[in-house]
Amino acid sequence: MKVLKIFVDGFGLGKNDLEINPIIAARTPCFDALLGGHKLWGNQLIKTSKAVLVPLDPLLGVPGVPQSATGQTTLWTGVNAAQAAGRHVNAYPTPLLREVIEDYSIFKTLTEDGYSVTFANAFRPSFFEALAEGQRDFSASTLVTLAAGLQARNLDDLYAGRAVYQDITNDILIEPGFDAPPYTPAQAGRHLAELVGEHDFTLFEFFQSDVAGHKQDMPRCVGLVERIDEFLGSVLENLSLADTLILLTSDHGNLEDLSVSGHTQNPVPGLIIGDYERVPYLGLRGIEDVASFILDVVAM
């Protein structure tokens, strides 16, 4: 079975509170249709005919507030990176975490097993220049891709509709002067759906949610949630779920509680869209279970 993983950074399951939770304040017709109402909050298992929402523990059994480097390394490898490091690690993976990624990258594992995989995000020329110079301070998702020997997608891929930029709409490229086409979330969703049809496992990463959450910018956060919702709706309109499962998840909370500027200890969504009864979703408890879940589903 094909798997699309949509990773939304800093996207937790918070309180049903319009004042502090942009996910509650946002208009989300796609999420609502999947879950049978405006229910993307709280620590609740929800099952409908279209999807199942499994709250996932991001704490990894380590005291403190979950962070990006350890959370994402865990998601992309199945190794409990916070326990390996002895703490929650922010920002880019440390040398120890890079070794974990090099050995256990989900992309690498699937590629070695003969499956077709891809990272759907497009990269700017500056990334390829840094790579050529030997830089290693990249995000966990980027390192997972490189560990498998995969070629990262570039702006030519984006302009041709063969990639999606990290903000979905290309606004962040257009502002500094790149000649990028402005995409609606619906257009970007169609492009992602086409890539999914060509691969056994596809990853798309969206991290503006975490950036906006740290700034406690309610209007921007609401807009980003609505962008994700429209984007996901378009993916679903252009993708057959007969042989494909979609998993939307995160590494830690942030955006769902704007009463604080940092990360939260809230659970994160394990939103599974498609024929979830065919897959071992009951084995999902924390973010350390996600990689093995994906490997199992792809092998079905």
pLDDT along the chain (300 residues), means of 10: 97 97 98 98 96 98 96 97 96 94 96 96 92 85 93 95 97 94 97 96 96 95 98 96 96 96 97 93 95 95
Can you tell me whether residue 164 is helix, strand or coil? strand
What CATH code would you report for 2-298? 3.40.720.10
Q: Which two tokens stand for residue 194?
A: 């086409």
Q: Say how many CA atoms lie within 13 Å of 106 toward its Cβ.
A: 32
Biggest distance spanned by C-alpha atoms of the chain: 50
Contact (Cβ atoms closer than 8 angstroms) between residue 22 and residue 41: no
Pairwise CA distance, residues 12 & 20, whole Å:
13
What's the pLDDT at 106?
96
Q: What is the pLDDT of residue 299?
A: 93
> Domain spans of the chain?
2-298
**CA atoms of 103 and 109, how far apart (whole Å):** 9
CA atoms within 13 A on the CB side of 49: 1
Beta-strand relationship, 153-154 and 122-123: parallel
Determine if residue 177 is left, alpha or beta; phi over 0 gives left, psi from -120 to 50 gives alpha, anything else beta: left
The reported pLDDT for the residue numbered 133 is 87
pTM (2 d.p.): 0.96
